[in-house]
Amino acid sequence: MQVTLLGAGLMGRPMGRRLREAGWPLTVWNRTRAKAEQLAPHGARVVDTAADAVRDAEVVITMLEHGEAVEHVLFDLGVADALRPGALVIDMSSIKPSQAREHARRLAERGIAHLDAPVSGGTVGAEAGTLAIMAGGTAQDFERARPLFAPLGRATHVGPHGAGQLAKLANQMIVGITIGAISEALLLAARGGADMAKVREAIRGGFAESRILEVHGQRIVEQDFAKRAALSVQLKDMRNALDTAAELGIDAPITRLFEQLYASASEHGFADLDHSALFCELARRNSPLR
């Protein structure tokens, strides 16, 4: 299959590299061409416009920042018009379920298939090919995409169009809330005079164990908040979760609280750090650690 990747940012680049290493022919476009050029040494073809990137594509993967960006690239930059009927668009961005369903509908009118297949695992999972991929759409299109998913991670078909994004929102609610729980707990331990690193070590393997405690807990202990998954993106996902909850008539008070905490962190200068920098916002609200 001729494959096109639209979006070569923090996640798109390592995903594109893994596709090339698996032997897939790859054309790449990114709004900032220099980011796409980083895949050229791996054998990817880099083009200047999104429409040109997809003209011969059988499968198009989008990895963009938010739903508005996906809509702009698909329908304002000429991608949907340039795609031939029968092509498959796999949107691996994290967007609202309602947006995914609308994109699927508009593409179907042109004879183009669609999967919403957001991922979890961050840049570490993208580099290692261990992403969790949550796919919404038809079972037939999921089977068609399965060989492409293989070098990227573990894919699960979770339901019809929009279901992949619902799964991702559930994932991000758990991730965002758990980062907050670990941040507050380690801050409490440190303020009381315990060694944060030793506390984290002590509770690992018990009921508090999680991937978040393992990875983000270590970042908090080391005060390493270099961006892997931006706090601003976590905030966007929490807001998407709240919007979707409102559409479904669900009260989500815990997510609402954490949306406010991530918003405050963003306002206080932590937006472009890793989402584990929520710890910095909680520390800011208290006197400096001694």
Q: Which residues are catalytic?
A: 168
Q: Which residues contact 18 (CB under 8 A, 6 or more apart)?
A: 126, 129, 151, 152
